[in-house]
Chains A and B, each alone.
Chain A
Amino acid sequence: MRFDRLTKGFSGLRVLKEGLTGNTGWTPHWRDPEPKPEYDIIIIGGGGHGLATAHYLASQHDITNVAVLEKGYLGGGNVGRNTTIVRANYMLPGNSEFYSHSLKLWEGLEDDLNYNVMHSQRGIINLFHSDGQRDAFARRGNQMIAQGDDAILLDRAGVQRLLPYLDFEQTRFPIYGGLYHKRGGTARHDAVAWGFARGADSRGVDLIQQCEVTGIDIENGAVRGVQTTRGAIRAKKVGMVVAGRSSQVAAMAGMRLPIESHVLQAFVTEGLKPVIDHVITYGMGHFYISQSDKGGLVFGGDLDLYSSYASRGNLPTAEHVAEAAMTLMPVIGKAKMLRSWGGIMDMTPDGSPVIDRTHIDGLYVNCGWCYGGFKATPASGHTFAHLLATDTPHPVAAKLRLDRFRTGRGILDEEATGSQHNLH
């Protein structure tokens, strides 16, 4: 494998060789195969999580007779437009171990994929603005350390050393300090999708683009395959991994999911010289920001807070985000905003995801990532592949059950606001 990387994969030596020979040796990162009539496993959705699932099915479970069906192009959904934050700073059993597992996978991802996903552990700082919030963050930090991750509680001077450009004296929410999670950071979102796609394809998985699933064939309570715009494809196992379109695809199997789709906006400025070295979250203002490697300031806030499939939001939320930005760091007022966009978030009532079987034999669901699916990409794929391959949940994803809403057991109340639509 190592030797392979020198000749066929990516390495410094290969870049040098190609540079000296006119870059004529590069080949497409994946094939463009015709769908076969039957596969062992079909994954609906060629986004980050679907491609990661395919990669881990092939690399961890040696199951390569797999198709990923994508109605558009690979990585063209939310993995192609998000704010790229990677972190493991949860304090909620069920989610804590899952995201902790995910961060460990991120840390070995580039080597695993032989692909530069530009994973940058630049650190995340969650600001706090009162004594009560400091106590809560101290507790969260201890919990993060106890689960094997990292956290440092910064006092005001500590934050000032790292983020001197913030307005510490703002009248509404003066900054008391921050919780510093050094292993958190960002990654290049497209490269993550492409890396997983290449990993899956190189092991024999068929990545089939421009292939929309139009129906799910079910006989006697068991899945038999899917209907697509490129013909029927049979499979004994089908995994639905379609993020914001979860309800639509589940409806093809006669299912209703505990999901309302909402729109989340994000914004990018023109490219600037390096100014923000970390990821900063300003929870009191519903605002977070980092700087991309191209120089754009990437930032966002809360949901628009109404159901939407529009992939764009409205002005009130954009204004709110701009106000929060100016409150926290007035320096941003000099920057020009380049673009904004909206993504469709499949919001569950408790704000936590689902990786589970369904009541239909052979039909599996991976959904409900709310506004935090990007950092989950490796673990989502890793644990969903485990479920598809072995029919048992992976230990770190065992609590992400679909039936928690019916039984009321194991609700993963992400923001401690109660388990109800519209509260997360």
Chain B
Amino acid sequence: MRLPCPICGERDRREFYYQGAAVALNRPAPDADADAWQDFVYLRENLPGDHQELWSHDAGCGAWLVVTRNTVTHAVLGAKLASEADR
């Protein structure tokens, strides 16, 4: 599996750290209730198919990426910088 870093180009999966579903971009307000925080920290859609997820290019430029990847085929469909992703 190779991921297309927008800064470094296509690189081996070994260079990246996987954070999980790209929910971290939708952080609730600090005073949100327990349900909102449970939703954000723990609950996941987790359905097979195309999946938005956060990867860090640890052994490369260090950028955080939002990668779209199919969890059934492992096909990588695109990546953009988390700093430029829709929120």
Contact = CB atoms under 8 A, between A and B. Distances in A.
A258 interface: yes
How many of chain A's residues touch chain B, expressed as a range? 20 to 34
A302 to B, nearest CB: 12
Contacts of B12: 316
Contact of A258 (B14, B44, B51, B72): B44
Contact of A307 (B21, B34, B39, B43): B21
A247 B35 contact: no
Interface in B15-58: 18-21, 34-35, 38-39, 41-48, 51, 53
A253 interface: no
B41 to A, nearest CB: 7
A341 interface: no
B21 A260 contact: yes
B71 A257 contact: no
Contacts of A307: 18, 20-21, 46, 51, 53, 71
A406 B34 CA distance: 7
B21 A251 contact: no
Nearest to B39: A256
B47 A251 contact: yes
Given A261-B46, A307-B21, A314 B41 contact: no
A420 B23 CA distance: 13
Contacts of B48: 248, 261, 309
A406 B39 CA distance: 9
Given A260-B21, A306-B18, A248 B47 contact: yes
A422 B18 contact: yes
Interface residues of B, number: 27
Q: Interface of chain A, helix or strand or loop or mixed?
A: mixed
A257 B69 CA distance: 21
Interface string A387-407: 000000000000000000111
Contacts, number: 76
A420 B42 CA distance: 7
A123 interface: no
A258 B13 contact: no
Interface of B is mostly: mixed
B72 to A, nearest CB: 5
A256 B71 contact: no
A51 B14 CA distance: 39
B1 interface: yes
B18 A257 contact: no
A309 B71 contact: yes
Given A316-B14, A422-B18, A259 B71 contact: no
Contacts of A405: 38, 41-43
Name the residue in B12, B19, B44, B53 with the highest tally of chain A Cβ atoms < 10 Å from its Cβ.
Answer: B44
Given A309-B71, A406-B35, A247 B45 contact: yes
B18 A256 contact: no
A177 to B, nearest CB: 32
Contacts of B42: 258, 349, 405-406, 421
B20 A260 contact: yes
Interface string A253-268: 0001111110000000
Nearest to B46: A247
Interface string A411-424: 00000000011100
Given A307-B20, A422-B18, A260 B46 contact: yes
Given A307-B20, A310-B72, 4 more contacts: A258-B42, A261-B46, A316-B14, A406-B38
